[in-house]
Amino acid sequence: MNRRYRKTIIAGNWKMNKTASETRALIEELKPLLAKAKWCDVVLCVPFVDISAAIKAAKGSKIAIGAQNMHFEKSGAFTGEVSADMLTDLGVKYAIIGHSERRQYFNETDETVNKKVIKALEAGLRPIVCVGESIEQRDQGVTMDNIRMQVKIALKGVAAKELKKVVFAYEPIWAIGTGRTATSSQANEVCEGVRTCLRELYGARAARSVTIQYGGSMNAKNAAELLAQTDIDGGLIGGASLKAADFTQIVEAANQ
Ligand code: PEP
């Protein structure tokens, strides 16, 4: 973390978990627990159908609500899809873009990620752009090549003044939902590499103000060490965000 230049953001990715009533209950449980979280922003990325309940429940707290996806077109014949404007109209502030599960199961590509980033920014949503390598890419020594390509394509056409609204989440695919976390130095090395890439594209000043999260089996036990690294400015948390006590401990670690 480096609070001098950028905000620490802890975001939960609930994936396809929790009904609307379970959403209300978990947020009510979290609200008093997170009240002391002064030094970091807290975001919950909930399923589309839970967004209204989440926004209502989070009112008056420091919890912002995010979506887990969005479509890149403004409106039209895209059955089953949800636009950025529909999200902002409900009060949604963030949208996860290009999560590896979307890339793997729903054919998302770097190009669709780019279109979504542009549309999110146009609509006033902060995109949380996920990048990460497979275990094969890590073993072949091409982690950073892959990440740099993902970052560069995601940002095609994004103006320098918009950059600080973009959040990156470095999520090694082999660490998501596996209980296998990247070591703090592996995670920091890639987050630093993302920042170097941003520096090359936008200059040092712009690059240092971008929040870069780590995601991949972050939990109450390993959060403090990961968040103490120079270039890890928060976390994108799956499994551990579904339990109030675990998520609270991660937020507390970000407040140290
Ligand atoms: C995620 O879904 O982005 C994630 C990091 O999941 P988990 O924390 O469960 O590995």
pLDDT of 4 > 90? The answer is no
Per-domain residue ranges for the chain? Answer: 8-254
Question: Ligand 1 in contact with 128 (CB < 6 A)?
Answer: no
Type and span of the H or E element at 128: strand 126-131
Q: Supply the mean pLDDT for the chain.
A: 96
Cα gap 169→128, rounded to integer Å: 6
CATH class of residue range 8-254: alpha beta
Distance 11 CA to ligand 1 centre (A): 10
Distance 62 CA to ligand 1 centre (A): 22
Distance 158 CA to ligand 1 centre (A): 27
Of ligand 1's listed atoms, the one at least distance from the Cα of 96 is 3
pLDDT tens-place string over residues 211-230: 999 999 999 999 999 999 99
Q: Which residues pair with 40 in a beta bridge?
A: 8
Type and span of the H or E element at 130: strand 126-131
Residue-level length of the chain: 256
pTM over 0.85: yes
Residue listed under structure tokens 């669709």: 112
